[in-house]
Amino acid sequence: MANNKLKPADSYYTDIGPIACWRPTHKPSNSGYVTIKRNGVCIQLHRFVYEQYFGLIPEGMDLHHKCETRWCCNPYHLTPVTNAENTRLGQSAKLSVTQALDIRVRAQAGNNCVAIAKEYGISSTHVYYIRDNRKWATI
């Protein structure tokens, strides 16, 4: 029997088109993901939204955020991959310590983060996270 008290799917995020990251209405956890409760079960918002748009995620598959922004729930930024592939695709794995340090120094000095991102083949969000010590915080 359907629970008529469930919020509609689109009440959890702001849909601003297929290109930009969709900002959730809930605060991300310390891991960066947003969790919601549906029918008494906690689920990650990006997985829920993906399934609303494209159907079930194949069993055993992760969803890779092509935008590298964990809180993003834009289903067009998500693609099913194996866990190993998701790990390999993570942007932190694309950079050496020297590269991450260079990015931080340049971004903190006021260089254009979008230009730095293009140079390294990563998202501008990832550059901001490095600049602000949210990624590569130990260097």
* Topology given in CATH for the domain delimited by 11-89: Homing Intron 3 (I-Ppo) Encoded Endonuclease; Chain A (3.90.75)
pLDDT (mean) for 89-94? 67
The pLDDT-based confidence of 14 (bands split at 50, 70, 90) is low
Looking at residue 125, its pLDDT comes to: 84
* Paired tokens of 124: 């501008």
* Paired tokens of 57: 């995620």
User: What pTM was estimated for this model as a whole?
Assistant: 0.59
Q: Is the pLDDT of residue 127 over 50?
A: yes
Q: Is the pLDDT of residue 60 over 60?
A: yes
CA distance 77 to 72: 8
Spatial CA neighbour of 103 closest among 124, 85, 89? 124
Q: Is the pLDDT of residue 1 over 60?
A: no
Distance linking the first and last C-alpha atoms of the chain = 53
Domain assignments of the chain as residue spans, ordered by start: 11-89, 91-131
Looking at residue 13, its pLDDT comes to: 63
Say how many residues make up the chain. 139
Looking at residue 83, its pLDDT comes to: 82
CA distance 7 to 48: 13
Q: Is the pLDDT of residue 88 over 50?
A: yes
* Distances, alpha carbon 87 to alpha carbons 12, 23, 63, 92, 125, in Å: 27, 23, 11, 9, 18
pLDDT (mean) for 42-70? 91
Looking at residue 107, its pLDDT comes to: 97
Looking at residue 22, its pLDDT comes to: 85
Q: Is the pLDDT of residue 105 over 90?
A: yes
CA distance 11 to 32: 19
